[in-house]
Every structure is written in structure tokens, then in C-alpha cells.
Amino acid sequence: MRKILITGGAGFIGYHLAQHLLQNSDVELVLVDNLRRGRIDADFQNVLDNPRVKFLALDLTKPDSYEKLGSGYNHVYHLAAVNGTKLFYEMPHEVLRVNTLSLIYMLEWFREKNKEGKFCFTSSNEAYAGGLNAFNQLPIPTPEKVPLVIHDTHNPRWSYAATKLVGELFVINYAKMHNFKALIVRPHNFYGPRAGYKGHVIPDFSERIMARADPFPIYGADDTRTFCYIGDAVRAMSMLMDSKKTDSQPIETVHIGDALEITMKELAERMFDVVDWRPKKLDIQNGPIGSVKRRLADTSKLRAFVEWTPEVSLDEGLRITHDWYMAHPDPA
Ligand SMILES: NC(=O)c1ccc[n+]([C@@H]2O[C@H](COP(=O)([O-])OP(=O)(O)OC[C@H]3O[C@@H](n4cnc5c(N)ncnc54)[C@H](O)[C@@H]3O)[C@@H](O)[C@H]2O)c1
């Protein structure tokens, strides 16, 4: 059997990654989460009902949690973090504390107890987004090797980016000095069912569509993003972890994302088409301060390492996601 640990296992990516990995009958999973954001809802309970899954409710900012993790994992996916743009503004000090502390403890545990395995750290496109704002000359599509920049230390938005920037340095240097296999992935706007509620653009649009909001608010209407369906995204993550090409030193940093760049306004229009309803009027608002105008990942490295192409089109993914949100309205 292959033993795999996922921290943040009850969260958005963790849940979908667990489901994906369980398709292999030789995989045993340990999922860790403090349930700060992740929830034991019916979807997650389905995963927990699998006899090859063990769940540990642990807070990874507490040193004594690590005694309960055990050892002997082939792969460790460290996803646990405080995530979500709204929280960057509301509790930047917690974003900094939780994300950095849990990563340091994880790496200390890993080098002591699990050095023979391979470690995956989920960084973010936020780590370089400040550079797109600060220097208008970064290449788009943006490759992994651009400088990582904190645009404004006084803008709480960059608290999260700072944890990913310093997190990458921790993982690179721990893997080098303690000689273990590791990989850094930078997700670019993964979306799909169970992605959380407030503060994520697609769930927000779904909620406004369900409420028939008219005029329909769109923040940062001309800002562009790409959106990668979660099933495709977790497949890319596990293919990269399985690939021997990402086993060597110095460790690799790899962008995961889709190539279709669209504006927030176009995204809303696509969703109106998918649900066959549109408001009479749009209410165009500025994006939050520090919001990045344009973001498109260069994913050539991903494609050089593994034979991956997205299988779910944006329209299909939006349909699946909106249907899920209709069936699961915000419990708050
Ligand atoms: N979703 C995306 O598109 C995206 C983009 C860039 C980066 N990421 C990164 O990927 C990872 C997973 O993201 P996600 O979208 O699944 O986020 P999420 O918030 O849904 O999941 C994170 C999980 O970590 C748990 N957690 C938080 N603090 C913890 C602690 N101290 N101890 C144990 N568990 C804790 C939360 O309860 C939550 O279930 C994060 O590190 C995030 O920064 C995600």
C-alpha cells in the first residue's frame, strides 16, 4: 500500500485530492484538518466512510499535534493554510501566524520522521502577483522564474503572499539541507464544488445568480484570470508528485493552471449563459486595492514534466459548480 498524508484534508483542494487519490486501490490516506474552514459535511463524510481513510482533527500550529501524525508516508501534501482573499484583509496576522508556523513544524516533523517520503507545498500565484503590479514588465504568460515580490507591506492583502514567498524558501532550503524530495506547486484559481462561500468569485457569482441580483455587481470587471477545474487540478498535482522528473535537487516549482484568460465580466457572461438567466443591468465596481489586473500562468513546465491537459471545459465546470451551489446554499 502507498501511504499518503494530506494536511488541510477537509478543505477544498484536500477533499478533491483525497477523492482522486482513492481511485487507486493501493492508496491509504491520512487526512488532517482543524476544521477551521473545512467541514465534515455529507461530501466529506463519504470520503471518511472509506476504510482506507483515517481522519485526525489536529491544529498544526500546536507542536504536540505532530506526535499523532506517525510516519512512513510516501507522499505528504501540505495544504493546510488560512486561505481566501477576504481573510487576508480581515485577519492578516492570523494568515501570517498559521501559514508560517504550521509549515515550519511540518518541515521539522518531516525531516525527523518522514525523510524518505516526498513533500508537496502548495504555494500560490499570489507569491508573484505583487511583481505584476509593481513592475509592469513581467512576462505574461508568467513563468515560475520571475521574482517574488511583496508590493506593499502595509496592505494586508499581501500577508498571504508573504507566507507563500517565505514558505517556498523554507521548502527549498529544508529539502536541500536535509536532502529529501520535495515539490512546490503554484495553483492558479482552482474552482469547483465545495470551494467555500464568500470571497471566491465563482461561488459569489453563483450566489448572486440564485438571488437574481439585478443590477448584478461585478468587482474589477476588466481584471483577467484563468480558472482551472478542480478535478483537472488535483490530477495535475498527483501526476507531478508521481513523476520521477520532480525528484531531484534543486527542487522544482511548477505552475498549475488553465490557459484560457478571461475578464471577470466575461466570466459573469459565461455563467449567465450556463444558467440561462441574465440581469437587466450590471453594477461595475472597482476591484479591492492591490487587486492584480492580469494573471496568466505559463504552464509549459507542467506540460514538460507530465502529460496533462485539462479535461473539463470552463462552461462544463461552471455548470457542475453552479449546480452544486444550488443544491448546497451557504449554511451561514
Ligand atoms: N484554491 C486555490 O485556487 C488555491 C490557489 C492558490 C493556493 N492555494 C493553496 O492551496 C492550499 C489549499 O487551498 P484550499 O483552496 O483547499 O483552501 P481551504 O481553506 O479550503 O483548505 C485549507 C484547509 O486547511 C485547514 N487548516 C487551516 N489552518 C489549519 C491548522 N492550523 N491546522 C490544521 N488544518 C488547518 C482549514 O480548516 C481548511 O480545511 C492552501 O495552502 C492554499 O493557500 C489554493
The residue written with cell numbers 478535478 in the block is 231
The residue written with cell numbers 489536529 in the block is 58
In this prediction, residue 183 carries a pLDDT of 98
290 pLDDT more than 70: no
The reply to whether ligand 1 has any atom less than 6 angstroms from the CB of 8 is: yes
DSSP-derived secondary structure for 258-269: -S--EEHHHHHH
Contacts (Cβ under 8 Å, ≥6 apart) of 266:
none
The angle formed by the CA atoms of residues 20, 210 and 16, to the nearest 5 degrees, is 10
Map out the domains of the chain as residue ranges. Answer: 2-191+227-258+297-311
> How many angstroms separate the CA atoms of 68 and 35, rounded?
17
Mutate to test the pocket of ligand 1, among 5, 12, 48, 62 (most ligand atoms within 8 A of CB): 12
Q: Dump pLDDT digits (tens) for 166-214.
A: 999 999 999 999 999 999 999 999 999 999 987 789 999 999 999 999 9
The reply to whether ligand 1 has any atom less than 6 angstroms from the CB of 14 is: yes
Please report the sign of the dihedral spanned by the C-alpha atoms of residue 325, residue 328, residue 329, residue 332: negative
The reply to whether ligand 1 has any atom less than 6 angstroms from the CB of 167 is: no
CATH top-level class of 2-191+227-258+297-311 = alpha beta
The reply to whether ligand 1 has any atom less than 6 angstroms from the CB of 38 is: yes
Distance 256 CA to ligand 1 centre (A): 16
Q: Dump pLDDT digits (tens) for 26-59.
A: 999 999 999 999 899 999 999 999 999 999 999 9
The reply to whether ligand 1 has any atom less than 6 angstroms from the CB of 83 is: yes
Nearest CA to ligand 1 atom 9: 122
In this prediction, residue 243 carries a pLDDT of 98
Contact 76, 14 (CB under 8 A): no
Contact 182, 221 (CB under 8 A): no
Beta-bridge mates of residue 121: 78, 184
pLDDT over 70 percentage in the chain:
99
Predicted TM-score (pTM) of the model is 0.97
Average pLDDT score over residue span 256-276: 96
DSSP-derived secondary structure for 74-86: SEEEE------HH
Q: How far apart are the first and last CA of the chain?
A: 40
Q: pLDDT band for position 93 (50/70/90)? A: very high
